[in-house]
């Protein structure tokens, strides 16, 4: 367990765009990240098309994109690819229930900084987001 950041310490806001189709996860994740890190969720999308539009429209206002692999329609990997193609300046990380080495490889090839398993690497995600906030996060992260 990583030590808490001291209250009031200056941290830059990490403007975050979440691509996730399950509202329960979206809400919980938003609350958790905003409570424990300096992430501010400025937008979200539930499917590929909305995600691509959202990223394109607010390209400069996004610091971090968190992408779930399985979406209502379309695929998280395709969202990754679109972000890569539009040279989105923001970091992209993938959240998935099925983080096999092959998936990790593919996501990395599509420009993902990290891949986090939803069940076992939640803490790592929180740490990573904190890292971005206080400038200590490495970029890009090696393939896990």
Residues that bind another protein (CB under 8 A): 1, 4, 22, 24-25, 27-29, 31-32, 35-36, 70, 97-98, 100, 102-103, 118-120, 122-123, 126
Burial 61-74 (b: 16+ CB within 10 A, else e): ebbbbbbbbebeeb
Toward another protein, which CB reaches closer, 28 or 136?
28
- Structure token pair of residue 139: 């970029």
Minimum distance of another protein from residue 68's CB (angstroms): 10
Toward another protein, which CB reaches closer, 57 or 136?
136
Minimum distance of another protein from residue 114's CB (angstroms): 17
User: Rounded CA gap, 97 and 7, in Å?
Assistant: 33
Toward another protein, which CB reaches closer, 119 or 136?
119
Toward another protein, which CB reaches closer, 35 or 135?
35
Minimum distance of another protein from residue 102's CB (angstroms): 6
Q: Residue 129 in 3-state DSSP?
A: helix
* Pairing mode of beta strands 14-19, 64-68: parallel
User: Rounded CA gap, 45 and 67, in Å?
Assistant: 9
Toward another protein, which CB reaches closer, 35 or 60?
35
Burial 12-33 (b: 16+ CB within 10 A, else e): eebbbbbbbbeeeebeebbeeb
CB 64 within 8 A of CB 91: yes
Minimum distance of another protein from residue 112's CB (angstroms): 16
Minimum distance of another protein from residue 55's CB (angstroms): 23
């Amino acid at each position: 367990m990583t030590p808490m950041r001291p209250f009031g310490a200056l941290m830059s806001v990490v403007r975050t765009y979440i691509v996730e189709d399950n509202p329960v996860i979206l809400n919980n994740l938003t609350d958790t990240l905003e409570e424990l890190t300096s992430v501010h969720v400025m937008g979200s999308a539930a499917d590929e098309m909305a995600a691509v539009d959202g990223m394109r429209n607010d390209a400069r206002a996004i610091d971090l994109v968190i992408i779930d692999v399985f979406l209502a329609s379309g695929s998280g990997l395709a969202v990754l690819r679109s972000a890569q193609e539009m040279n989105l300046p923001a970091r992209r990380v993938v959240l998935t229930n099925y983080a096999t080495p092959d998936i990790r490889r593919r996501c990395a090839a599509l420009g993902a900084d990290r891949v986090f398993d939803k069940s076992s690497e939640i803490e790592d995600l929180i740490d990573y987001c904190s890292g971005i906030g206080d400038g200590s996060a490495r970029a890009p992260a090696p393939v896990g």
